[in-house]
Chains A and B, each alone.
Chain A
């Protein structure tokens, strides 16, 4: 039988990633997420809370992991976020990211194309360009790249988190425990699992 450790992030965080916080922060938290996944929506305010608690000590990175067989709108939602980021910049990407999670539970259609384009406009992007990108699958390859990198990193559901490149299998919904693990990683300690 094979012996192997937990998943390792591959490829490592780079300039292609969407990041909040200093890229040279002592701890980097990477989330693989799906905009239609209710668990990711539940994790969203927890990540925000962690960002407040850790401040400049943490860099947060989001990569797409849409589970398309379960979530019909997830792939387009990920493409829309990438489109917004490409046309309107990183801060618009993060506004789009927040809007989709905040509105995910509004209704069954809260992530259909019509809504996505509306959020894109709210986030500060040109709605028409984002709509065109969705029709042209302009960012489909980018989203697939994220997905495959997640598979190769050992993503095992959504959300999956990596702390300084190592998969975190602990309970993300316990914000205090999560914070402690992140602080320990920031201090150079071993990541508790």
Chain B
């Protein structure tokens, strides 16, 4: 049975990382400072379902961008695997290879499944300062959808508009 860590929650500074986005390019989280970021951790490329999680995020990308947020997909697959997968699914956002040391970033975010050797299906919404504002780990085998992410981004828009400290930014009822 897989061992479960505790995922980082709202209010936590998101750990920085540098990972390959293509076989010859890397991307660091701090490069995106000043922008909102949605981190989509998923177990593996080539999930055999139609309309899988990444395909869904790909379709919803215009809505997410309306809230000034970028989407990054992360799994333990290597950069060449990601490249082939992204091409086949026509993905319009980067897939990062949490490949060496394997699952290191997933471990830092508390979403690595020891024993299974893959990350959970986990979502983190980061604000412009790299603070986690919302996070969610989906039950095994259940694609979480994109509603929680959009709700979190909308809540951030409202807080930004009223300049109040959110007491429940991390809770989606």
Contacts and interface: CB of A to CB of B under 8 A. Distances in A.
Interface of A: 1-4, 7, 34, 37-39, 65, 67-70, 147-148, 151-158, 169
A169 B91 CA distance: 25
20 contacts: A1-B6, A1-B9, A2-B10, A3-B171, A67-B51, A69-B55, A69-B59, A69-B91, A69-B92, A70-B89, A147-B59, A151-B146, A152-B150, A155-B56, A156-B51, A156-B56, A157-B52, A157-B53, A158-B51, A169-B142
Nearest to B149: A151
Contacts of B59: 67-69, 147
Given A7-B147, A156-B143, A70 B90 contact: yes
B41 interface: no
B137 to A, nearest CB: 6
B142 A1 contact: no
Interface of B: 6-10, 49-53, 55-56, 58-60, 63, 89-92, 134-137, 142-148, 150, 170-173
Contact of B50 (A148, A153, A157, A169): A157
Contacts of A148: 63
Q: 9 nearest interchain CB pairs?
A: A157-B51, A156-B143, A154-B145, A156-B145, A158-B51, A4-B172, A154-B147, A2-B136, A69-B90
A70 B137 CA distance: 26
A69 B60 CA distance: 11
Given A1-B9, A4-B173, A151 B150 contact: yes
B154 to A, nearest CB: 10
